[in-house]
Amino acid sequence: MDLNAIYLVSDSVGETADLVIRSALFQFETENYQLKKYSYVQTPEEIDAICAKAGEDEKAMIFYTFVQKEMAAYMQDRIEKAGLIGVDIYSPVMKGLGQLFQLKPLEKPGINRQLNKEYFNRVEAIEFSVKYDDGRDPRGIEKADIILIGVSRTSKTPLSIYLANKNVKVANIPLFPESKPPKEIFTIAPERIIGLVNSPKKLNEVRKERLKTLGLPPSASYAGMERILEELEYADRIMKQIGCEVIDVSNKAIEETADHILHYMDVMNISRKQL
């Protein structure tokens, strides 16, 4: 059986079309398709060749992203003349934003990938979050935009990196009864600290999996319910002492928790520091 051909055509890398279509494909329980990606399409002749190739497939559909309206219009015209099915992903968005801002778009392909100030800020934030991960250096507490605290396996590190990709400088501090937390977390503004908690059942599950990956028996005290409850009780005392925001991550994806934190930062008017 021939696979349905899905063409992704762009005047740049084509990340937008790729992300949109792959996300939509998750809603269909089928693998009866083949993605055919065409990046950096710059001329009408290239569009002609792509449409001709799509016409040779038994079943084909073209999704395209062109920031130049002339190229988008040409693609649409060629699709209609070839009797193909096509979807313009960018043009409705560009038109809507143009109406909103009362401005004309720049129509420069790949402009979002240029090395600009935002890009370097993001790299800096990632490097910061790696440097001050897992309480390695308490000096990061005073330099960070946000400090995450919590017991082991509450997603502190992946959340730090995710937020760093949003240009947020994050330091994270593990909490466990045998070690006092850095004194700095009691001296900075409590609104800059986020406490992360997880359910005992979830912690038991993820810690057992962690022990397996380390080649250790799942019966180790690290994953034991008694130990988990002890740690959670200790962390709860610390968080109440600080008076910080607390998020239960037990039923949240990293993205959900990050969105909660970003919204919290906006509400609390927490600005991002410059290093």
Question: Nearest CA to 181 among 130, 131, 244?
Answer: 244
Note whether 44 and 74 are within 8 A (CB).
yes
* Largest Cα span, the chain: 73
Total count of residues recorded for the chain? 275
Q: Is 267 annotated as a binding residue?
A: no
As beta bridge partners, residue 33 has: 4
Q: Is 131 annotated as a binding residue?
A: no
Q: Is 23 annotated as a binding residue?
A: no
Q: Cα(39)–Cα(129) distance, rounded to whole angstroms? A: 33
Per DSSP, the residues of 3-48 read: PEEEEEEESS--HHHHHHHHHHHTTS----EEEEEE----SHHHHH
Cα–chain-centroid distance for residue 87? 26
Q: Is 150 annotated as a binding residue?
A: yes
Phi-psi region for residue 217, left (φ > 0), alpha (ψ -120 to 50) or beta?
A: beta
The SS3 of residue 122 is helix
The SS3 of residue 243 is coil
Q: Is 83 annotated as a binding residue?
A: no
Tell me which DSSP letter residue 147 carries: E
30's tokens: 């089928």
Which segments of the chain are extended strands (E)?
4-10, 33-38, 60-65, 85-88, 146-150, 170-174, 193-197, 245-248
Q: Is 152 annotated as a binding residue?
A: yes
Note whether 257 and 159 are within 8 A (CB).
yes
| Numbered residues of the known binding site | 150-157
| Numbered residues of the known binding site for ADP | 150-157
